[in-house]
C-alpha cells in the first residue's frame, strides 16, 4: 500500500471520516501510462499567480488530451501534491477558442482554486481567527489514503469580523480558497465557511499526529494535572528520624500492650486500744 508517512500504520481497509476535494482550472501535460493507469503532470495557478505542479492519477482506456480542463470536487492531497480522479468523465475540457491561449481573444475568467472538506483542527491562533487543519483523503486504489495540511484564516472583512473557529482536536467541515503555497506541503487559504461536527475520534488524532494537548483545551489540562498529582513522588525522610519514630512507636505500642497494675489506695488506720493496765493513780 502506498501511503503517506502519517498513515503507514493504517491497514488497507481503514476508513477515515476526513476528506479534501479541489475545484479549479487545471492544465494537463504529458502523461505516463501503464495498463490504462495514467499519471499526468498538471499545473494550476492560485490567486497570486503562483504556479503549482500537481500529479493527477486516473484510470481510462484513452489518454486524456493535453489542454485546459475544469475539475470539480476531485480528491486532493498535499503530501505530496496529488489528485485522484475517480472517473475520466469528471474532466471538462475548455474549448481552445476560450482557454486564453489567444492574446486579446475571448476567454473565460480564471476561477479561484476552491477547496472543501472535513478535517481536524490541529491548532488555533489566540484570537481563533486562523487555524491549522489536517486530514487524510482517499485518492484511489494505487495511492490509498494520503495526508493534507492547510493554514486557514478568515478574511479581514466586516463579514467575518465576529467569526471564530472551534478549538483544537475538533472535527470540522469547511470551505476555503487557495491564496498561496506556504511550503512544507502546506497552503495558505482564505476560510469561507467552517462548521463544528464534534470531537475528533482518538484513532484519527493518533493517525494525524495530533497527540499533544492544546493550551486552550481545559478538560485535557485538568486530566494532565490530575495525572501529575497521582504520579508525584513522596518526600524522602531522614533515616535517623525514621528510626527514632519507629522506636517511639514501638515503645508506645509496648506500653499500650502491658497491663497496668491497679493503683494502691491508702487505707485509713484505725487506732488500736492500749494494752497497758491503768494504775490507781490513773
Tell which residue, 117, 130, 111, 190, has the closest CA to residue 155: 190
Q: How confident is the model at residue 89 (pLDDT cuts 50, 70, 90)?
A: confident
DSSP 8-state secondary structure symbol assigned to residue 117 = E
* In the chain, alpha helices (H): 202-208, 218-230, 239-257
- Write phi, then psi, for 194 (nearest 5 degrees): -150, 135
Query: No. of H helices and E strands in the chain?
Result: 3, 11
- Residues 197-209: pLDDT tens digits? 999 998 999 888 8
Tell which residue, 63, 61, 62, 42, has the closest CA to residue 52: 42
Q: Is the pLDDT of residue 270 over 80?
A: no
pTM, two decimal places: 0.67
Q: Is the pLDDT of residue 245 over 80?
A: no
* Distance of alpha carbon 83 from alpha carbon 268, whole angstroms: 115
- Cell numbers at residue 145, please? 489514503
- C-beta of residue 130 within 8 angstroms of C-beta of residue 190: no
- C-beta of residue 51 within 8 angstroms of C-beta of residue 121: no
Q: What is the mean pLDDT of the chain?
A: 77
Q: What angle do CA 230, 235, 237 make, to 5 degrees?
A: 150
Q: How confident is the model at residue 6 (pLDDT cuts 50, 70, 90)?
A: very low
* Distance of alpha carbon 227 from alpha carbon 220, whole angstroms: 11
* Distance of alpha carbon 225 from alpha carbon 221, whole angstroms: 6
Tell which residue, 120, 185, 177, 173, has the closest CA to residue 152: 177
DSSP 8-state secondary structure symbol assigned to residue 36 = T
Q: Which residues, in sequence order, are bridge partners of residue 116?
A: 21, 175
- For position 221, what pLDDT does the model report? 74
- Residues 112-158: pLDDT tens digits? 889 999 999 999 999 999 999 999 998 877 778 989 999 999 999 99
More confident residue, 130 or 247: 130
Question: Where would I find the beta strands (DSSP E) of 46-144?
Answer: 51-59, 67-78, 81-84, 92-93, 114-124, 130-138
Tell which residue, 54, 72, 74, 86, has the closest CA to residue 185: 54
DSSP 8-state secondary structure symbol assigned to residue 215 = T
Q: What does CATH list as the number for 17-212? A: 2.40.50.730
Distances from the Cα of 79 to the Cα of 155, 167, 176, 187, 275, angstroms = 26, 24, 18, 11, 127
Distances from the Cα of 255 to the Cα of 158, 207, 249, 262, angstroms = 83, 65, 10, 15
Amino acid at each position: 500500500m502506498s501511503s503517506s508517512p502519517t498513515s503507514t500504520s493504517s491497514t488497507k481497509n481503514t476508513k477515515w471520516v476526513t476528506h479534501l476535494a479541489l475545484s479549479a482550472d487545471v492544465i494537463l501535460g504529458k502523461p505516463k501510462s501503464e495498463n490504462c493507469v495514467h499519471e499526468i503532470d498538471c499545473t494550476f495557478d492560485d490567486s497570486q499567480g503562483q504556479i503549482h505542479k500537481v500529479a493527477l492519477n486516473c484510470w481510462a482506456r484513452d489518454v486524456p488530451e493535453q489542454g485546459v480542463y475544469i475539475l470539480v470536487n476531485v480528491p486532493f492531497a498535499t503530501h505530496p501534491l496529488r489528485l485522484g480522479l475517480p472517473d475520466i468523465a469528471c474532466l471538462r475540457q475548455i474549448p481552445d477558442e476560450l482557454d486564453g491561449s489567444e492574446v486579446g481573444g475571448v476567454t473565460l475568467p480564471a476561477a479561484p482554486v476552491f477547496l472543501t472538506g472535513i478535517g481536524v483542527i490541529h491548532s488555533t491562533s489566540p484570537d481563533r481567527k486562523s487555524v491549522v487543519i489536517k486530514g487524510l483523503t482517499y485518492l484511489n486504489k494505487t495511492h490509498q489514503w494520503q495526508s493534507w495540511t492547510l493554514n486557514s484564516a478568515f478574511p479581514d472583512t466586516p463579514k467575518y469580523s465576529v467569526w471564530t473557529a472551534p478549538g483544537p482536536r475538533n472535527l470540522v467541515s469547511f470551505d476555503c480558497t487557495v491564496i498561496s503555497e506556504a511550503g512544507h506541503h502546506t497552503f495558505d487559504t482564505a476560510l469561507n465557511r467552517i462548521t463544528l461536527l464534534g470531537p475528533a475520534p482518538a484513532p484519527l488524532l493518533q493517525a494525524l499526529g495530533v497527540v499533544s494537548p492544546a493550551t486552550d483545551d481545559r478538560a485535557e489540562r485538568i486530566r494532565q494535572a490530575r495525572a501529575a498529582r497521582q504520579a508525584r513522588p513522596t518526600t524522602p525522610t531522614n533515616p535517623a528520624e525514621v528510626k527514632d519514630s519507629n522506636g517511639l512507636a514501638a515503645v508506645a505500642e509496648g506500653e499500650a500492650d502491658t497491663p497496668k497494675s491497679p493503683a494502691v489506695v491508702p487505707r485509713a488506720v484505725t487506732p488500736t486500744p492500749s494494752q497497758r493496765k491503768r494504775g490507781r493513780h490513773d
